[in-house]
Amino acid sequence: MATVAGLVSFTTIDYPGCLAAVVFFKGCPLRCPFCHNPGLQENDGVGEMTWSDALSFLSARKGKLDGVVLSGGEPLMQPDIVEIAQQVKELGFKVGVHTSGVYPDKLRKMAPYIDWVGLDIKAPWDKYDEVCGRPKMSDKVKESLAFLLDQGISFEARTTCDPDCLTPADVLAIAKELKADGVKNYAMQHYRTFDGDKHPPEQSAINQFFTVDALAPIKKEFPNLIIR
């Protein structure tokens, strides 16, 4: 059974172009130091609500929301996430997913029910293991990326710019790799502090990713670069 960590009833930023609710699930195999929801990395099996309760809430929001985002944690870690996506779709909602891409097989099974994906690209491929805290993840993410491109599923690739893990040169390398693969939508995300953040970087270090000089070569790859 899925472990639901919480639910946001209304958002305009988690699913581009849609008014949506977000359901958060516990559990993630990665240990990225910039994780905005580190409290959801472990799955203790104790949820804030049952999935049945969340589904009932969403059912009552039909006609008021465009979509529902499945987030986490890593939502694809849930054993019944395919059925969850199907149930949300059957309510008439668009289904969005926030994922690290490390479960490509699960992503394939969910594809009939998915309308949009936010795919985290943590680092250049040669730094992936170091940044995400677990070995042999880059090949899985590449597989998910290739699947989304092949199937024509709407998605956004995005990178959190943590100066303790990445440099502006790293982000430019990511952008060039993604553009070469055929990615159309890329977002750069500011590092944001979180509860329990023991070593937040200096704001000046975060800002280095977003200077005119740093952004210019990336915008050559992605003229409609998203910054958030």
Give the whole-angstrom CA distance, residue 72 versus residue 41.
8
pLDDT at 47 over 90: no
The CATH class for the domain spanning 4-227 reads alpha beta
pLDDT at 77 over 90: yes
Mean pLDDT of the chain: 95
The residue-averaged pLDDT of 92-115 equals 98
pLDDT at 37 over 90: no
Nearest to 159 by CA among 169, 138, 174: 174
Q: CB under 8 Å to 99, separation ≥6 — which residues? A: 74, 75, 76, 107, 117, 118, 119, 120, 144
Which residues share a beta bridge with 156?
118
Per domain, the residue ranges of the chain are: 4-227
Show the tokens assigned to 215: 């952004």
Give the whole-angstrom CA distance, residue 61 versus residue 21.
9
Compute CA distances 177 → 4, 91, 208, whole Å.
35, 37, 21
Show the tokens assigned to 93: 């909602």
Confidence of residue 22 (pLDDT cuts 50, 70, 90): very high
Q: CB under 8 Å to 22, separation ≥6 — which residues? A: 7, 8, 11, 14, 68, 69, 71
Confidence of residue 195 (pLDDT cuts 50, 70, 90): confident
pLDDT at 57 over 90: yes
* More confident: 46 or 147: 147
Give the whole-angstrom CA distance, residue 131 versus residue 25.
22
